[in-house]
Structure 1
Amino acid sequence: MASIIREFAVAAEPDVAWAALEEVGKVNQLIGFLGPVTMDGDVRRVDMAENGIIEELIVSVDAPLRRMSYSVRKGPWALIHHHSVMQILPPAQGAGGSRVAWLVDLKPDELAEEFAAGMEGAVEAIKTSLGKTAP
């Protein structure tokens, strides 16, 4: 199983960053290049343009840990397994803002490169979004 891990700093303080992340139905506001998002209970549908509509199960939204997890259930990929966790962490010692940890486990391994490339664009979009919300 492939694992992709990204940890990055954002300008927003942890409470502000978490407020943006926990609004799972507004992920397109956090990652501006995504299309419309709809929610049906714990199922999130995201319009990802060239990849079509992606269906994700929101597995958990844990406010005390500032952590949410989701699993891609439908999309253009032949996934055997997908699980993703995003968590807002305190800033590095001496720094302001906060850190975001994003972990993705997926199978088959051959999809890791494609998912990692998509995550890179999303990381930059998140940095931009959470930079705008910083005090």
Structure 2
Amino acid sequence: MAMVRVEAVVDAPVQQVWDAVADVGAVHRRLLPGRVTDARVEGDIRILTMPDGHQVRELILGVDHGLRRMAYAVVEGQRLPLTYHYAAFQVLDEGPRSRLVWLTDVLPHDMADAVRARVERGMAEMKAVLERDETS
């Protein structure tokens, strides 16, 4: 299995960043506005709607407030030819700043570069949103 790890230092306090990550039904407002136009949660499933109307379904595996870790698996709607897609965010305290870590496991292995490009772009967008809005 290929693993993609992307992290960023965010100029925002750890609780602010964690609150945004943990708010799984508000990713379209708090982390990726513009990239995700809507998000709703039905039981353990998060349904993301993209600007073109395409939907992605993710199984929310866990939100651990003590570890500041949120894990999910894409179960339907991914556009890349992946047979397995599991990911987790963790928010680490770095004093007045935070470190946001995004780990993604994917199969097949040869899709790692394509996934890395998407994760890096998403991380840059989340960092900008989190640093811009201290009340997110």
**What TM-score, normalized to structure 1?**
0.89
Map of 2:106 onto structure 1: 106
Give the deviation of 1:133 after TM superposition. Answer: 3.3
Counterpart contact for 1:97–1:134, Cα < 8 Å: no
**What is the Cα deviation at residue 50 of structure 1?**
5.6
Aligned-partner residue type, residue 24 of structure 1: V
User: In the alignment, which residue of structure 1 is the partner of 2:64?
Assistant: 62
Distance in structure 1 (CA, Å) of the matches to 2:23 and 2:13: 16
SS at match of 1:54: strand
Q: Which residue of 1 aligns with 2:42?
A: 40
Q: Which of 66, 83, 86 pairs up with 1:83?
A: 86
User: In structure 2, do the counterparts of structure 1 residues 11 and 64 end up closer, same or farther at CA, with 3 Å as the change threshold?
Assistant: same
Between 1:112-121 and 1:37-46, the stretch displaced more is: 112-121
Q: How many residues align?
A: 132
- Pick which of 4-13 and 74-83 moved more: 74-83
The alignment's TM-score, normalised by the length of structure 2, stands at 0.88
User: 1:106-125 alignment to 2 at 5 Å?
Assistant: 106-125=106-125
2:32 alignment partner in structure 1: 31
Deviating above 6 A after TM superposition, structure 1's stretches of 4 or more consecutive aligned residues are: none
Identity of aligned pairs, percent? 32
Q: Is the 8 A contact 2:39 2:49 kept in 1?
A: yes
* Structure 1 alignment gaps of length 5 or more: none
